[in-house]
């Protein structure tokens, strides 16, 4: 996830390898103890054992054939859940299903969440099957170095990281695909801490725009949008049996990190988290459904954390409602 776009300031949270030495040192000093497996091990000393029982539940995990989503999905199956795993590559899905404790409990669904048409088609298939989802994990997320416009004319990371999550959740709710007491979990990223909500910059498709497209910013903005969208759902469904959470996994040694942040991975590989460590908070939230004191929080290592560590990210003029109005406008079926 290393961006080389010229003339734009890199985000330290997602692009530490490009930062000046002083900032680089303060970046690693500040975040490594917490986001690496050091933080995970230190915090887990105070956790009781988690023996989840998901028997009778149906989970749907988007981006559920490897990495963090794959690990959460594997834990769900091991704890008795029926799983619908969504990803693009059918062979990888089959190999993943075979690697779980109960391959017969895994339904494989091929869909590319960078394309609205495939999200809508998946919704139709699931509706025709009469699926009822108890736990929905909106986990799929990508960071691109270069601006890639989909054949539907939208910027890829915008659709994959936030728009498709919104369409899927909104439609699953309105079509009755989510159980009355369903849990919905968004996988965000610490990369969002660097950004306020800026709705107008979520989908930059032009070439001579102000600001210019910067992959690392597009990623951070969409991750911030996931946090705000969760706040919207929590308010809308407050007092019902449904629970909406957003979490971040810390720094996890997944295929995505190796592909898109090779220098970051090289520097930190000895302390990056394993997939199960990154997925732990997803499993915890689904198992415990803990109360949340603030509707804007993000969960990390089994605890509710602030959604803002820099005061400047609170200074957004956009709101959950302006975000949702914009996502609605993009959500039409192609």
Ligand X SMILES: NC(=O)c1ccc[n+]([C@@H]2O[C@H](COP(=O)([O-])OP(=O)(O)OC[C@H]3O[C@@H](n4cnc5c(N)ncnc54)[C@H](OP(=O)(O)O)[C@@H]3O)[C@@H](O)[C@H]2O)c1
- By the criterion CB under 6 A, which residues form the site for ligand X? 63-70, 87-89, 92, 112-114, 139-142, 160, 187, 189, 248-249, 251-252, 254-257
Select 64 or 196, whichever has its Cβ closest to ligand X. 64
The tokens of 122 are what? 């998946």
CA-to-CA dists, residue 254 to 33, 264, 272, angstroms: 19, 12, 9
Both tokens assigned to 204: 């930059």
- Comparing CB distances to ligand X, the nearer of 18 and 114 is 114
CB of 14 to ligand X, least distance (A): 9
Assess contact for 159 and 217: CB atoms under 8 A: no
Instruction: Report which DSSP code applies to 212.
Output: P
- Residue 281: alpha-carbon gap to chain centroid: 12
10 Å CB burial of residue 151 (0-12, 13-18, 19+) is: exposed
> In Å, what is the CA distance from 26 to each residue of 40, 60, 257?
20, 39, 21
Could you tell me the smallest distance in angstroms from the CB atom of residue 94 to ligand X?
11
Strand 298-300 to 303-305 pairing? antiparallel
Chain centroid, CA 60 distance in Å: 14
In the complex with ligand X, the residue whose CB is nearer, 256 or 287, is: 256
Helix (H, G, I), strand (E, B) or coil at 245: strand
Query: Do 126 and 84 meet the contact criterion of CB atoms below 8 Å apart?
Result: yes
Give the alpha-carbon dihedral of 268, 273, 274, 280, to 10 degrees. -170
Q: Which is nearer to ligand X, 107 or 319 (CB)?
A: 107
Question: In this structure, are residues 200 and 319 in contact, taking their beta carbons and an 8 Å threshold?
Answer: no
CB of 261 to ligand X, least distance (A): 8
State the minimum distance, in angstroms, from the CB of residue 181 to ligand X: 25
Nearest approach, Cβ of 240 to ligand X (angstroms)? Answer: 26
Residue 13: CB minimum distance to ligand X, A: 10
**Residue closer to ligand X, measured from CB, 51 or 151:** 151
By beta-carbon proximity to ligand X, the closer residue of 305 and 319 is 305
Give min distance, CB of 89 to ligand X, in A: 3
Length in residues, the chain: 334
Residue closer to ligand X by CB (options 16, 67) is 67
């Amino acid at each position: 996830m290393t961006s080389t776009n010229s003339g734009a300031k890199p985000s330290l949270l997602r692009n530490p390898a490009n930062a000046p030495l002083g900032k680089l040192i303060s970046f690693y000093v500040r975040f490594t103890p917490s986001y690496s497996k050091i933080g995970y091990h230190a915090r887990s000393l105070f956790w009781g054992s988690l023996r989840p029982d998901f028997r009778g539940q149906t989970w749907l995990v988007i981006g559920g054939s490897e990495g963090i989503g794959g690990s959460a999905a594997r834990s769900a199956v091991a704890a008795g859940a029926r799983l619908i795993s969504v990803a693009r590559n059918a062979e990888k899905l089959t190999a993943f299903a075979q690697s779980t404790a109960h391959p017969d409990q895994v339904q494989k669904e091929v869909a590319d969440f960078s394309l609205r048409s495939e999200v809508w088609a998946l919704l139709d298939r699931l509706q025709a099957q009469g699926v009822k989802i108890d736990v929905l994990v909106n986990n799929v997320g990508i960071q691109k170095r270069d601006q890639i416009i989909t054949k539907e004319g939208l910027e890829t990371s915008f659709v994959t990281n936030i728009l498709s999550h919104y369409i899927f959740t909104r439609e699953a709710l309105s079509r009755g695909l989510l159980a009355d007491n369903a849990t919905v979990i968004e996988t965000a990223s610490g990369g969002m801490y660097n950004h306020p909500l800026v709705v107008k910059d979520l989908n930059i498709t032009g070439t001579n725009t102000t600001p210019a497209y910067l992959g690392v910013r597009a990623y951070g903005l969409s991750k911030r949008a996931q946090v705000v969208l969760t706040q919207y759902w929590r308010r809308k469904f407050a007092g019902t049996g449904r629970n909406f959470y957003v979490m971040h996994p810390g720094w996890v040694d997944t295929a995505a990190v190796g592909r898109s942040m090779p220098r970051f991975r090289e520097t930190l590989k000895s302390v990056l988290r394993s997939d199960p460590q990154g997925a732990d908070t997803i499993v915890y939230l689904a198992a415990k459904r803990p109360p949340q004191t603030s509707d804007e929080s993000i969960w990390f290592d089994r605890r509710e954390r602030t959604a803002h560590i820099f005061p400047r990210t609170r200074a957004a003029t956009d709101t959950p409602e302006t975000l949702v109005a914009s996502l609605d406008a993009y959500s039409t079926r192609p």
